[in-house]
Structure 1
Amino acid sequence: MTALVLIDIQTGLSETAYYGTERNNHDAEEKCGEVLAAFRSNNLTIFHVKHNSTNPKSPLFPGKPGNGIHPAVQPMVNEPIIEKDVNSAFIGTNLESRLHQLGISKLVIVGLTIEHCISTSVRMAANLGFEVTLISDATAAFDKMGIDGKRYGADIIFNTELANLKDEFAEIKDTATLLAELDN
């Protein structure tokens, strides 16, 4: 069985002023919404994961508006919300046990950002024995400052992360491919 895991699709991750950088894939949240709608229409299992930052300055700190789940992927009453305060959706949560209880062996993962919680969660899911599919256009990256003081663009960070995850940790697909498969 397959489940959709939506990770950290929160309004604060569109606040580029806080991160001091540029973000790619500005429509990632809408792509996440398309994937969510398809899972709902196929009556498939859905889990929302929400990050509660421990940094009071972060837009994802509990109580701040940015901590809220993005309007494109608002959970329904029957869709669990799993809260975390680290990068992995599996550390300090009951996500793994809930997936096992439901007989889930395959995960489709979408969310933000690929260089943080998505990469960490995808790697851990694969290491825990789940078959993972990452939806490339339903995630995004921010620019990063390297140890050499050079700024690396969001697209470079994004594509490097996809290359690192591809095959060893996840199958990489885009939204259109996944939706076509779900229609069959």
Structure 2
Amino acid sequence: MGTTGLLIIDLQNDYFPGGRYTLDGTEAAAAKAGELLALARAEGASVVHVRHVMTGEDAPFFAKGTPGAEIHPDLAPREGEPVVVKEAVNAFLRTDLDALLRGRGITRLVIVGAMSHMCVDAASRAALDLGYEVTLAHDATATLPLTFCGTEVPAPAVQAAMMAALEFAGANVVSADEAAAVLRG
């Protein structure tokens, strides 16, 4: 086990077509994430899955106990791959994620998942704040269109803005193919 780990954030059924909160490009992002997952497993790199669960009765998606809250089968954890369950946007907040990563000697993270403008952003920034070297595979993340002050912001613009901001913050934002080189060490 090396010092690099793959962190897969919230690639859960509700974000895929037919789910309660479908994102733009989830299937393509999951395919790229799946390639990195296969590589990480082949290289013996640590893999940590993050799963968001909402407990309120009015949860718009990822409702506790529903199939939509489960990790998509294409990215399902294998035995020995930990799953960190979170109830907040930031995967490090009120979870054992940091202790888990440090316990495995992880100092570098390759991050994939969803949503780019929420949980991927929060986890990437927290990881940077905690001193991790962060590589973010932009094409292995997904988002959706947003609206601000009456202006519609298409998903590709949301994605570009988030990736630019995370790169500015210190993340190494690259394609999944380039992130593969990081996993290979």
Tell me the TM-score normalised to structure 2 length: 0.91
| Residue from 80, 83, 102 that aligns with 1:81 | 83
1:130-153: per-residue Cα shift (whole Å, max 9, x none)?
A: 00000010001100111x112110
Match of 2:32 in 1: 31
AA of the residue aligned to 1:80: P
Query: Which of the residues 2, 10, 28 maps onto 1:8?
Result: 10
In structure 2, the CA distance between the partners of 1:10 and 1:22, relative to structure 1 (3 Å rule), is: closer
Residue aligning to 1:118: 120
Alignment-derived partner of residue 103 in structure 2: 101
Contact kept? 2:146, 2:154, Cα under 8 Å: yes
Q: Tell me the distance in 2 between the aligned counterparts of 1:70 and 1:45.
A: 19
Counterparts in 2 of 1:9 and 1:22: CA distance versus 1, 3 Å: closer
Partner of 1:40: 41
Q: How many residues were matched structurally?
A: 182
Identical-pair percentage: 33
Report the CA distance shift for 1:36/1:22 in structure 2 as closer, same or farther (over 3 A).
Answer: closer
Partner of 2:141: 139
Match of 2:73 in 1: 71
Going from structure 1 to structure 2, the CA distance change for 1:3 and 1:181 (only over 3 Å counts) comes to closer
Other structure's SS at 2:139 match? helix
Assess, with a 3 A threshold, how the Cα gap between structure 1 residues 77 and 17 changes in structure 2: closer, same or farther. closer
**CA displacement 1:144-178 (0-9 Å, x = unmatched):** 111x1121100010000000000423101111122
- Per-residue displacement from partner, 1:75-134 (whole Å, max 9, x unpaired)? 001100010010111011101011112221111100001001000000000001100000
Following the alignment from structure 1 to structure 2, what is the Cα–Cα distance between the partners of residues 6 and 25?
13
- 2 CA distance for matches of 1:17 and 1:64? 11
Which amino acid is the alignment partner of residue 46 of structure 1? V
What are structure 2's unaligned runs of at least 5 residues?
A: none
Q: Shift of the alpha carbon at 1:25?
A: 5.4
Tell me, which stretches of 5 or more residues in structure 1 are unaligned? none
Matched, 1:179 2:180: yes
Distance 1:53 1:89 in 2: 13
> Does the Cα contact within 8 Å between 2:4 and 2:183 map onto a contact in 1?
no
Once residues 55 and 149 of structure 1 are traced to their aligned partners in structure 2, the CA distance between those partners, rounded to angstroms, is 29
The one-letter amino acid of 1:70's match is H
What TM-score, normalized to structure 1?
0.91
Question: How far apart, CA to CA, are the structure 1 residues paired with 2:26 and 2:175?
Answer: 12
- Greater mean deviation of Cα atoms: 70-79 or 168-177: 168-177
The aligned residue for residue 58 of structure 1 is 60
Give the strand-richer structure, 1 or 2.
2
Amino acid at match of 1:7: I
